[in-house]
Structure 1
């Protein structure tokens, strides 16, 4: 949309509708005539372009007997920006003087000044049927940086008399200073397009010229050296290397993600608001995707697995959003490149660093403070450093009169990232990422009786060092190799009175991911690679056999654990190597895509203890290997630009976690869990920026680890692979992408998730089941840099097992509960409304945003769990955070 200036003006007063006539009585014999409107016409105000609205300002203009403007008064306002523009233009008007009784005389007229915002249609002429632009991909989507001097070659395949096929050049052109190129009268047909230049890798693509239709394209190509302008936004989508065609995508952009109320400007937290994702219990930061357990959903950064995406509490991501190029959530049915998980998949891609100048930001709010700096070093190297530190645990008491930390865990966390990029030569690049994350959460529920005081302390630490080598070739193929090393450290200490239960896990992680992608046939793109991961884990645990509670345990919050305690320390090595291959077969003019794939997973599990340690006995270790074949298939059919049908199937396996392989607390012989995903859906694009999507799914899982039902299980069999699971449902998403300052979406998910702990047991609700989840998000840009947005969330409460009675245990001197049917009641439904208001300022090269993000604006007492008094005769609820107004500021340069 381009602004259109006034096409005509009306001087109504001079034609008999003026506010007043000349200063003396007489008859108007000649109306004043405006002579120079086109020369002094007011431009459409820059500050109002985002609104794209038409406006009219009514002015009273005093004209002298010489035709000069003496005075301009606004009598009907359209807003300060429009009023100022109209008045300044009117003061420059020059009229042919009016006449009263046949003589020049001063008059006043009423003048209507129209501002219109129109779509400007540029007629390129019927002879131009293939045109476009070439832009620098490293400059970001919002910044338009054209690349001049790029050669566009159009070739067509022809067969000679001998039957030999060759490519014949039809036309060639170069981009101008604006990156624009055009071809005239290219005959209809399919052509091979080559995009080349001295500063970019030579790439090829394919275009079809249709009869009596013009083709306009936009190519974004990645230069050999990143020297583009600073991007102001990053598109959250998976971007193909080296060249990308502009296509419609339903991915959420960072500019939208940061504006979602309740996220405090954290772009990666938008994943929690997407369809298919259940609301995590407050304080957990877990991802509950399509009814799968949080630990079954895998998170990858540049192909390297991270243990968690969010800090404890879910307030922030463990990776700085300003270093992220793309994030994608796949709830199920993903391809053969990834595995080792039974649930969903989250992939995060880091962005290319900017090499034009020094960039950065600094931000602070009620929750934390963060900053990043980014700069080039020489002509081939770029570096960025980012960090974050929270202080909500210290500041919350100043903003809330309630001691919310009594029941709701308030975390303390920090993280840091370093990324270095270096250009190695022709189309080759090496990048190194070092990141670390540290969380600590502690809460104490006091009681006059010290034996009833409860404390819970958890730590989560991890670090990764990731190197990525990328090489692209002139035929469009590419090679990527990503080795990585890391350390993880997780622990908890729980005390009920003076009895502690604690566990610590220290892990060393190694990994390598190598892949090749290229076109092997005209309509077939193949990706193949090797995915390797190895971890050495040292685990120590002491205390109750029932702590920490696991899915399927029947318990209530605050209930003292059994007095059966034990101790064990053990070592576990987990290894996995998986070659894979996946093809993208394009059929029927690229309308149908078949994507078959297969992954050959080899799981190796070894440990130092097969039996509990006993004095005088020799310990035995164990080592086993399981090789499984995992087929994958997805189908995508797009009969027209508005409609897309899709379906997918996948088979997945997951190894037991190290903490479950103890001969005392678990079972060293636990095998692989298995899951199958099935999904089908349709997407309909009603308008350019408005779409609706409906997806149905089901997943079946088996051989999951479950706790033994026996009060005294057989040694080494506290857990066993007896649990089965099933989840099914559907989701609907109606989305308006950013248009005229507005964006938002409405999503609803119906997800039913159930478990069967053993073959003879009945199906029950999964502990994380949330049958209904609905989200409404909306944001609108107001004039003068203001913006307002809202979010409304609803979700079914988590299942719980009711307490139907209690008895006094004289030996332990406490009351023990009787339970009803497992997971037969629920916590009340969760409902929360959030509001965000922001104001932006810009002083080139600085940009400042001030915002207030009010979470739980209605102070809803959302129930997070059920509690009971000492003898289980009274029931109460733990509630989440009250109204929390997070005020903050962010300065960019």
Structure 2
């Protein structure tokens, strides 16, 4: 089969090959390489004279002069161990020697800080934590140089659905209204960790709250690649200092020290970014970075005929800035700000329809942004460390919803919705080394203060049918009415925590607890946590176990709404249990096997039966339209629409096999394999009534008033003014979680042939998520009266009884690295979705057409996480080819 590739793509490939293969001047000098080793104090930046510098492998040594510089002669390029000895300490490190005249900066700790060990890798629990550092994720294939995407390849992580028909806070209202889907036990969000809710995770960057980790559609992270030093993913029983989450924690650590001035520029077909770090003055350093993508410019202009009709491309930019000021060897203050903006487009097909095909650039459908400003003060002593942090985060999301006539492109219905969120976060943490290397105590207090508003704007309709439907929704649906009229919630959370870390011999024991107070329900909860383990040094074997209780306050404005929700909702609760074993073997290999069972309680779910019998009849719209009725009935039963009735669990086993490349070697294999086998189920504990039962109940309740409601177990008991009792039996059953995937397999590898050439690959395989099949459609009688055919889908009564086909994809990346005296040039080419796999993510039901098997609904495909290019063979058949990305990274 012959595949036709556009001339534009061919030119890009030729350009890459030309850049990669043209003759270059050899960067390595023959014979001995004289290199300058400059030694400075890490806190003040002052030179360290009279330090002895030795490289045993290089068979060379030297003594630093008054400027802290020692000159050493190395026989050839490569990785060398370098030992630096001063009057009070010796430090060992590995550095790569690349060329003659190279200057290597080495920072050593101040003498009076030599005894402090208050943080670092050794203090982090190995249980239910997966961490990767910059060297391992720098050139991850298929992500355009975005290393944070590597967190999607560790065990227990499931990609969610961050963008759907409606934005996050509008989804629960809109989904049922527009599609009629009778069943859902999840919400829109970025990631699910071990079966937890996608909005029940917490993300931190340098300890400050991060509203979301990825740009729209999971395209790339909201942080610059070179700013990320490392990250940790906690999927269960995480430390006591982490709260406000029942799912998991993703803690990203940024660059925290500047040893040298450097600038890194990365340019490829779809985005450009720049990173700079500068030593402004002794003890004062600044880090700044920014990024801009332009998929619409490249894809929709250069080769629009190759873009799938349902492809969505978000346009985004992000920025980060950080000032590090070491006031003294014991005192540091940092200021930083980071933020982003995303604009999501409609599909190319809709853009062509609405604009007559003249302009392929799609209109904006979703515009969201956030900004976090933070300040931190750190005071370090000989055996303690106190950190005071303050941050304020602003989030704003503007959503435009439009329905158009498929024949005339007439605007039938339009709605603009704006969500604003402000979070103020304060934390003071204290770490104390009670017994050096053996016992550490950590405690702190935290506070979160949040205000969220939701408001519908600029409602438009040019069709009387939908105008009437819209008014009917306003009058009958309190949730929809609260969105249009606007709503606001305010609450605060106050927490305190304490934890001991005991290490003696091979034994590890970490007991801890935190207390969380939530103002919405005025509840205070104690959350104990404990992990323990033993390390057999002789065999490098570790066994570990952990248990933890976690709480999280409600996050949805529509659920907490005083107008249409339940402002008295309680905190959700989760219990995490883990048991694992880890083994190091061979040369830098490690395998970890861990079993887990997480139990989720008090899950907030839509509830059609919970009612407040004595609520104030204070809805403004109803008061204006029916003033007399409201005055006659100031107290009225009110549907609360949400409750803490949900329950769920997730259990499974995870395997993580990792190979780390020795930094002393110029070539070699590195990477990891992660596999998760699990099952996650949820139950909303809602009575499932037949259509006849629902109709009869509605008719009965129209003629009587609820006087009291109580709950017996998970069953409701209602008492009415006609002296009759109604028992609503809970006949619900556990169903598969909407994001359940039985098998999750990731294989990431890199192989460095020599200092110049490297190849990497990423293979992903996931089981398909469950869904409820559409079995037919019903014609809307109201639409028929206006001469339109409008159909609503009928769903199977066996909810989540089928699965989409498995997701699988392979990405390939080739790097060419050229070293120079001023830095390096890294030219790369990526083949994203190498074998052109179309991964199904859902179904699209056309409401203007009747149900037809295998045609309506029609499958929809993932064109963001699994992009592809459409081409044609000479006989006119469709061919799927990989998305080719070419880029260049320059460091100087």
Q: TM-score, normalization: structure 1?
A: 0.68
Compare 287-296 and 868-877 and name the one that shifted more.
Answer: 868-877
* Aligned residue in 1 for 2:409: none
Q: Say which SS state the counterpart of residue 252 (structure 1) adopts.
A: strand
CA shift, 1:350, in A, is 2.0
Where do 1:830-845 residues align within 5 Å?
Answer: 830-845=807-822
**Relative to structure 1, is the Cα distance of residues 524 and 199 closer, same or farther in structure 2, using a 3 angstrom cutoff?**
closer
Deviations 1:342-366 (A, max 9, x none): 101011122223154x311111112
Residue 509 of structure 2 is aligned to residue 594 of structure 1: yes
**Relative to structure 1, is the Cα distance of residues 150 and 704 closer, same or farther in structure 2, using a 3 angstrom cutoff?**
farther
Where do 1:403-418 residues align within 5 Å?
Answer: 404=307, 406-418=309-321
* Aligned residue in 2 for 1:877: 859
Deviations 1:504-545 (A, max 9, x none): 22122211111111122463210011111112222224799x
CA shift, 1:688, in A, is 3.5
Deviations 1:848-891 (A, max 9, x none): 10111111011112112112342121342112321211111100
Residue 384 of structure 2 is aligned to residue 477 of structure 1: yes
Q: 2:229 aligns with which of 325, 329, 337?
A: 325
**Relative to structure 1, is the Cα distance of residues 889 and 343 closer, same or farther in structure 2, using a 3 angstrom cutoff?**
same
Aligned-partner Cα distance in 2 for 1:331–1:695 = 11
Q: 2:844 aligns with which of 858, 862, 867?
A: 867
Q: 1:696 aligns with which of 578, 589, 595?
A: 595
Residue 590 of structure 2 is aligned to residue 676 of structure 1: no
Deviations 1:828-859 (A, max 9, x none): 11111111011001111221101111110111
**Relative to structure 1, is the Cα distance of residues 561 and 863 closer, same or farther in structure 2, using a 3 angstrom cutoff?**
farther
* Aligned residue in 1 for 2:632: none
* Aligned residue in 1 for 2:426: 512
Is contact 1:697-1:729 (8 Å) kept?
yes
Is contact 1:405-1:443 (8 Å) kept?
no
Aligned-partner Cα distance in 1 for 2:190–2:544 = 28
Q: Which structure 1 residue ranges, 5 or more long, are not aligned?
A: 1-80, 87-118, 124-134, 136-140, 153-173, 180-195, 206-220, 223-236, 545-559, 606-623
Q: Which structure 2 residue ranges, 5 or more long, are not aligned?
A: 1-25, 32-54, 60-69, 71-77, 96-106, 165-188, 405-411, 460-472, 613-636, 686-713, 715-729, 785-789, 869-881
Where do 1:560-639 residues align within 5 Å?
Answer: 565-566=480-481, 567-587=484-504, 589=505, 591-605=506-520, 624-639=521-536
Q: 2:366 aligns with which of 448, 458, 471?
A: 458
Aligned-partner Cα distance in 2 for 1:504–1:698 = 38
Residue 219 of structure 2 is aligned to residue 301 of structure 1: no
Higher-helix-fraction structure: 2
**Relative to structure 1, is the Cα distance of residues 798 and 293 closer, same or farther in structure 2, using a 3 angstrom cutoff?**
same
Is contact 1:456-1:495 (8 Å) kept?
no
Where do 1:727-766 residues align within 5 Å?
Answer: 727-739=650-662, 740-758=667-685, 759=714, 760=730, 761-766=732-737
Q: Say which SS state the counterpart of residue 519 (structure 2) adopts.
A: strand
**Relative to structure 1, is the Cα distance of residues 769 and 690 closer, same or farther in structure 2, using a 3 angstrom cutoff?**
same
Aligned-partner Cα distance in 2 for 1:796–1:402 = 31
* Aligned residue in 2 for 1:264: 144
**Relative to structure 1, is the Cα distance of residues 473 and 800 closer, same or farther in structure 2, using a 3 angstrom cutoff?**
same
Aligned-partner Cα distance in 1 for 2:844–2:833 = 23
Q: Say which SS state the counterpart of residue 151 (structure 1) adopts.
A: coil
CA shift, 1:456, in A, is 7.9
* Aligned residue in 2 for 1:386: 289
Deviations 1:264-314 (A, max 9, x none): 221111101111112345868812211222111110112221110111122
* Aligned residue in 1 for 2:554: 656
Residue 245 of structure 2 is aligned to residue 341 of structure 1: yes
Q: 1:503 aligns with which of 397, 417, 422?
A: 417
Between Structure 1 and Structure 2, how many residues are aligned?
653
| Structure with the greater alpha carbon radius of gyration | 1
Aligned-partner Cα distance in 2 for 1:178–1:275 = 30
Aligned-partner Cα distance in 1 for 2:860–2:136 = 33
| Higher RCO (C-alpha under 8 Å, 6+ residues apart) | 2
**Relative to structure 1, is the Cα distance of residues 833 and 198 closer, same or farther in structure 2, using a 3 angstrom cutoff?**
closer
Is contact 2:645-2:684 (8 Å) kept?
yes
Is contact 2:511-2:530 (8 Å) kept?
yes
Where do 1:82-93 residues align within 5 Å?
Answer: none
**Relative to structure 1, is the Cα distance of residues 826 and 353 closer, same or farther in structure 2, using a 3 angstrom cutoff?**
same
Please provide the CA RMSD for this pair. Answer: 3.7
Q: 1:532 aligns with which of 447, 452, 459?
A: 447
Q: Say which SS state the counterpart of residue 738 (structure 1) adopts.
A: coil
CA shift, 1:403, in A, is 6.5
Deviations 1:544-583 (A, max 9, x none): 9xxxxxxxxxxxxxxx999965233222112111111000
CA shift, 1:631, in A, is 0.5
Deviations 1:252-275 (A, max 9, x none): 231221222112221111101111
Is contact 1:809-1:815 (8 Å) kept?
yes
CA shift, 1:404, in A, is 4.5
Q: Say which SS state the counterpart of residue 201 (structure 1) adopts.
A: helix
Deviations 1:384-439 (A, max 9, x none): 22111110122123565556464332111111111111111132111111112111
Aligned-partner Cα distance in 2 for 1:388–1:449 = 32
Residue 805 of structure 2 is aligned to residue 828 of structure 1: yes
Q: Say which SS state the counterpart of residue 258 (structure 2) adopts.
A: coil
Q: Say which SS state the counterpart of residue 423 (structure 2) adopts.
A: strand
Deviations 1:125-170 (A, max 9, x none): xxxxxxxxxx9xxxxx989775432415xxxxxxxxxxxxxxxxxx
**Relative to structure 1, is the Cα distance of residues 746 and 346 closer, same or farther in structure 2, using a 3 angstrom cutoff?**
same
Q: Say which SS state the counterpart of residue 292 (structure 2) adopts.
A: strand
Deviations 1:470-520 (A, max 9, x none): 12212x321111111221112322223322344322122211111111122
Q: Say which SS state the counterpart of residue 385 (structure 1) adopts.
A: strand
* Aligned residue in 1 for 2:394: 487
**Relative to structure 1, is the Cα distance of residues 536 and 792 closer, same or farther in structure 2, using a 3 angstrom cutoff?**
same
* Aligned residue in 1 for 2:462: none
CA shift, 1:238, in A, is 5.1
Aligned-partner Cα distance in 1 for 2:742–2:734 = 15
Q: Say which SS state the counterpart of residue 148 (structure 2) adopts.
A: helix
Aligned-partner Cα distance in 1 for 2:761–2:353 = 45
CA shift, 1:666, in A, is 2.8
Aligned-partner Cα distance in 2 for 1:290–1:177 = 37
Is contact 1:664-1:715 (8 Å) kept?
no
Deviations 1:215-253 (A, max 9, x none): xxxxxx99xxxxxxxxxxxxxx95479xx9xxxx97423
* Aligned residue in 2 for 1:68: none
Deviations 1:424-481 (A, max 9, x none): 113211111111211111214639999xx9998222211111111112212x321111
